[in-house]
Amino acid sequence: RFLSKSAEKSQSFFKTLKKCTKKSDFQWTAEAEVAIKEMKKLIVELPTLTVLMEKEELIVYLAAARVTVSAVLMTKRKTKQMPVYFVSRALQGLEIN
């Protein structure tokens, strides 16, 4: 299934988890709560990936934010764009900026 800009949308959730070195360090933040609720809402209506048919044209969408990058490969069927493949990840360390 495809979740647009998943790394960007889940960043604050994973930031909360990253600060924990042991179980007692865990502090659930309001920001993480908002992020997890937003992701749950989006997951309910996720489009599924589709198989590319021979000679179909492809559309590439790229997104870059300060701490995330993502791309999705789409095809158009009738009047609807369908995701074929996607990648999304959070940047770390020297990759940022």
Q: Report residue 28 as tokens.
A: 């659930």
pLDDT, tens digit (0-9, with 9 covering 90-100), for 17-44: 777 777 777 777 787 788 788 878 877 7
Q: Where are the beta strands (DSSP E) in 1-97?
A: 58-64, 68-77, 80-90
pLDDT, tens digit (0-9, with 9 covering 90-100), for 49-86: 899 999 999 999 998 888 889 899 999 999 989 999 98
pTM for this structure? Answer: 0.54
Q: Delineate the domains of the chain, giving CATH numbers in brackets.
A: 6-95 (3.10.20)
